[in-house]
Amino acid sequence: MEPLLQKLEAQLAALPVPVALGLPGMRQLGPADAAVRLEFQDWSGLATFAAGHIGKIAEDYVEKRVRIEGRMRDVMAAGASLLPGSPVASDTSWWTQMLRRARSLALHTPQKDAELVRFHYDVSDDFYALWLDPRRVYSCAYFREPQMTLAQAQEAKLDHICRKLMLRGGERFLDIGAGWGGLLLWAAENYGVNATGITLSRNQHAHVNRLIEQKGLQGRVRMLLLDYRELPEDTPYDKVASVGMFEHVGQANMPAYFAKIRRLLVPGGLAMNHGITAGSIEPGQLGAGMGDFIGKYIFPGGELLHTSLVLRDMAVGGLEMVDTENLRPHYARTLWAWSDALEDRLEEARAVLVGTHGEEGAGTVLRAYRLYLAGSAMCFERGWIGLHQILAARPDGDMHTGTLRGAQSAYPFTRDYIYRRE
C-alpha cells in the first residue's frame, strides 16, 4: 500500500491544479483547500487514478463509486495531466482492424442505428435546451470573430455552410441528420431553398415539424423520420449537407454512405460533410478508457475516422473533395460554452431529467454529460480529436461546366466567394 501512496503523492505534486484525494478510512492526500477533490470508496479506484485510466474514473463517478468536486475546467486540466501517454495511439494490427470492421458492419444496420441515435438525441429536448443556443444547434460553432457569443457563432456556422454550398433560391437542398432544424430552417429562410431534412430522432422530428408550421414554411420545408439509406433517388438534390451525422455511420459503411450522397446529387452538385474526425491515423478510439466511456454513456456505436480515411472513402464513393477546413479549436470553444452553461444550471437540469428518467436515472445522465462536455472540450483543445468541414462535388463530366474549363461542377475553385462580405 505504501508504494501506491507514494506514487499518488508524486502525481498530485505534478498536477497543474491543486487536487486532494479522499482515501478509504477518512485519510486525505493533498491540500485541504484544493481546487479539485476526489473521494474514493475503495483502494481499487485509487489504483485506477494512479494508472491514469481516466475513462474508468469517469465511469466510477457516473456510477457513484467516486465523488468529484470542483470546476469542470480544473477537473479536466488534472485529468489530462494524469495520462501516462498520448491517448490517440491505437492498435494497428491487421487482426484488430479486421475485428473493428466486422463489429462496425454488425452494429450499423438501419434498426440498430435508429436505436443508438435515439439513445442520445432523445434524452430530453428540455435538457438540451438548457445549454444549447436558442436554435439548438448541436454541432461545432464558427467563431468568425473572437468576441462572438455562442448564439452568434452558431449562426455564423450555419451561414458559413450555406455560403460554401453556394445555395440559391429554388434549389433542392437536403440536410442529412438535421437535428433540431437549425441549418434546415436557416437555409430556407435566408437562401430561399426548397429544403428536406431527415433524422432518426423522434423528438427532433416532432420539434422541427412544429417549427415549420409555426413559421409557415409548409410546402417548402419538410422534416422526415427516415434513415439516409432509405432516401429516394428519383429526384436528385442540387446541394446536400451532413452536419454532425457521419460519426454514426460506421467505418464499414463509409464508402456506401458517400456513394449514396453522390447518387442523391445532381451532376455538378455540391455536398458538405461536417463532422468529428479522429486524431489517430488508424481506425480506433481514444485510449485511457475515454473511448469506452463515450461509447457506454453518450454515443454507443459512434466511430471516428482520420480525415485522410474520410477523404479516401469519399473518393471511393465517387465524390471529388474541393475544399477542406479544420475547425478543431472552434469546437473546443463551443463545448466549453455548452459545459459552462450546463454547470450554471445543474439544479434545473436535474429537475428536467427527473421528469424523464426518474431520480436515480437523472443523476446518472447529468453526471455523464458533465464529464462528456468538459472532457470533449479538453480533447479538441489538445488535438486528440478534430472537426473538419469537407466540401465535395459530383463531377458532371462536362468540360464546360463552371467558371473554369474542367471544373465539372458549380464549385469555382477559388475561396473568394466564401469569405466575400455582401
* Domain-located, residue 256: yes
Q: What domain range is 383 assigned to?
A: 94-419
* Domain-located, residue 301: yes
Helix or strand or coil: residue 366? Answer: helix
| Domain stops at, among 51, 82, 113 | 82
Given the C-alpha cell 463552371, which residue does it identify? 402
* Domain-located, residue 88: no
Residue 54 has what pLDDT?
83
**Same domain for 235 and 347?**
yes
* Domain-located, residue 87: no
| Rg value, the chain, Cα | 23
DSSP E strand stretches across 234-384: 237-243, 265-278, 320-326
Q: Report d(CA 103, CA 106) in Å as an integer.
A: 5
**Same domain for 257 and 151?**
yes
**Same domain for 140 and 288?**
yes
**Same domain for 67 and 110?**
no
| Domain stops at, among 82, 109, 130 | 82
**Same domain for 139 and 21?**
no
Q: What is the pTM of this model?
A: 0.91
Q: Is 248 left (phi over 0), alpha (psi -120 to 50) or beta?
A: alpha
19-22 and 28-29: which strand pairing?
Answer: antiparallel
Helix or strand or coil: residue 177? Answer: coil
Residue 95 has what pLDDT?
45
Q: What is the CATH number of the domain that holds 37?
A: 3.30.1050.10
The x, y and z cell numbers of residue 14, run together, are 505534478
Contact yes or no for 177/241 (Cβ under 8 A): no
* Domain-located, residue 162: yes
- 242: nearest Cα among 259, 261, 224: 261
Residue 398 has what pLDDT?
96
| Residues forming a β-bridge with 197 | 175, 223
Q: Report d(CA 154, CA 330) in Å as an integer.
A: 11
Residues 6+ apart with CB under 8 A from 382: 80
Residue 159 has what pLDDT?
97
| Residues forming a β-bridge with 194 | 172
316-373 pLDDT tens trace = 999 999 999 999 999 999 999 999 999 999 999 999 999 988 999 999 999 999 999 9
**Same domain for 343 and 321?**
yes
237-243 and 172-176: which strand pairing?
Answer: parallel
- 253: nearest Cα among 92, 139, 387, 107: 107
Q: Report d(CA 192, CA 89) in Å as an integer.
A: 46
Q: What is the CATH number of the domain that holds 259?
A: 3.40.50.150
Residue type for 309, please?
Answer: L
- Residue 301 CA from chain centroid, whole number: 13
**Same domain for 218 and 319?**
yes
Residue 381 has what pLDDT?
93
Residues 6+ apart with CB under 8 A from 109: none
Residues 6+ apart with CB under 8 A from 373: 72, 131, 335, 338, 339, 342
**Same domain for 244 and 337?**
yes
**Same domain for 194 and 275?**
yes
Give how many domains the chain has, as a whole number. 2
**Same domain for 385 and 258?**
yes
Contact yes or no for 176/228 (Cβ under 8 A): yes
Provide the residue-wise pLDDT of the chain in tens; the chain has 422 residues: 677 888 888 889 888 999 999 988 778 898 989 999 999 988 888 888 888 888 888 999 999 999 999 999 999 999 888 887 677 755 554 444 544 555 555 555 676 666 666 666 677 899 999 999 999 999 999 999 999 999 999 999 999 999 999 999 999 999 999 999 999 999 999 999 999 999 999 999 999 999 999 999 999 999 999 999 999 999 999 999 999 998 888 888 899 999 999 999 999 999 999 999 988 777 666 655 677 888 787 877 778 889 999 999 999 999 999 999 999 999 999 999 999 999 999 999 999 999 988 999 999 999 999 999 999 999 999 998 899 999 999 999 999 999 999 999 999 999 999 887 75
- 97: nearest Cα among 244, 303, 322: 303
Residue 25 has what pLDDT?
78
**Same domain for 115 and 56?**
no
| Domain stops at, among 82, 110, 143 | 82
307-316 vs 254-264: helix axis angle to the nearest 10? 50
**Cα atoms found within 13 Å of the Cα of residue 76, Cβ hemisphere only:** 21
- 328: nearest Cα among 387, 281, 376, 277: 387
**Same domain for 117 and 62?**
no
Residue 114 has what pLDDT?
65
For 318-350, the DSSP string reads: T-EEEEEEE-HHHHHHHHHHHHHHHHHTHHHHH
